[in-house]
Amino acid sequence: MTEKPLILVTNDDGINAPGIRTLISIMNTIGEVVVVAPDSPQSGMGHAITVDSTLYVNKVQIDDGPQTEYRCSGTPADCVKLAIRELLDRKPDICVSGINHGSNSSISVIYSGTMSAAVEAGIEGIPAIGFSLLNYSWNADFEPSKSFIKKITKQVLKNRLPKDIVLNVNIPNLPKPEIKGIKVCRQAKGNWVESFDKRQNPSGKDYYWLSGKFVNLDGGEDTDEYALENGYISVVPTQFDLTAHYALKELNTWNFNDKK
């Protein structure tokens, strides 16, 4: 690559979140950085896009650095779409999303705004990575993750990625000496056991707070959950073709065209 790689940075925690500020600083050591990120937290938005209201984008400068930054009123997926179609003068060499405050391992990838941004970039043929730290605190310590994030990003720039694949990277909340390394894994089978806390507002109207507990249903030692529990960074190649290819043969034996 003769020129610096163009790196699109986004997230779902909002442009002011410490996680994305850390990610920007890392990417500034690798290439030319353009940030397009939500103006407010968008966690759990999945792959939502804005279709029934207007979108606004403003150029901003949050802190010192050579990066170009835009604050967007939309979702993480909106941010990537706008970056590619309106704001960038060439296609990014890579899109990095995060660093998310909290895990996006196992089934959480389905709900993740962080990963939806990476997936949106992947749909456009752009190598993409979603980074998450297993610490939900606004004041989480991202320092131990920096060298690993840089290494993974540089490997993707060097080797590219298989077609229609993006990476879901989760980092255990450990001091750097306790992180044992990086493991390429599969997504663990698990789900959220959820409940709603029903309350009433001062006028007597019911409202609900969603809560839940993640349950790992997978005993495999080749999963992201196992890697994270044992001190490794998990790297899961994630596809956005949701076809269950293994089921095609069986379904083709069904008589869908029976006129009876």
pLDDT, tens digit, 9 for 90 and up, residues 217-255: 778 899 999 999 999 999 999 999 999 999 999 999 998
> What pLDDT score was predicted for residue 2?
54
Q: In this structure, is the dihedral angle defined by the CA atoms of residues 168, 173, 177 and 179, taken in order, positive or negative?
A: negative
Q: How far apart are CA 213 and CA 192, in angstroms?
A: 6
Q: Where are the domains of the chain?
A: 6-188+220-251
- With 80 as the cut, is the pLDDT of residue 80 above it? yes
The pTM score is 0.91
User: Could you tell me which residue, 51 or 103, shows the higher pLDDT?
Assistant: 103
**What contacts 185, CB < 8 A, 6 or more positions away?**
222, 223, 224, 226, 227, 234, 235, 236
What Å distances lie between residue 62 and 29, 40, 195, 247, CA to CA?
18, 14, 38, 49
Locate 208 and state its tokens: 């609900």
Matching residue, tokens 């990838």: 109
Q: How far apart are CA 222 and CA 215, in angstroms?
A: 17
> What pLDDT score was predicted for residue 193?
73
Give the residue among 34, 50, 53 at the shortest CA–CA distance from 42: 50
Matching residue, tokens 């296609």: 91
What Å distances lie between residue 254 and 135, 248, 251, CA to CA?
47, 10, 5
- With 60 as the cut, is the pLDDT of residue 1 above it? no
pLDDT over 70 percentage in the chain:
99
pLDDT, tens digit, 9 for 90 and up, residues 15-30: 999 999 999 999 999 9
What integer best gives the mean pLDDT of the chain? 92
> What pLDDT score was predicted for residue 31?
97
65-79 average pLDDT score? 95
User: Could you tell me which residue, 101 or 52, shows the higher pLDDT?
Assistant: 101
Helix (H), strand (E), coil (C) string for the chain: CCCCCEEEEECCCCCCCHHHHHHHHHHCCCCEEEEEEECCCCCCCCCCCCCCCCCCEEEECCCCCCCEEEEECCCHHHHHHHHHHHHCCCCCCEEEEEEEECCCCHHHHHCCHHHHHHHHHHHCCCCEEEEEECCCCCCCCCHHHHHHHHHHHHHHHHHCCCCCEEEEEEECCCCHHHCCEEEECECCCEEEEEEEEEEECCCCCEEEEEEEEEEECCCCCCEHHHHHHCCEEEEEEEECCCCCHHHHHHHCCCCCCCCC
Crossing angle for the helix pair 146-159 and 18-27, nearest 10 degrees? 50
Locate 18 and state its tokens: 């410490």
- Write the CATH number of the domain with boundaries 6-188+220-251: 3.40.1210.10
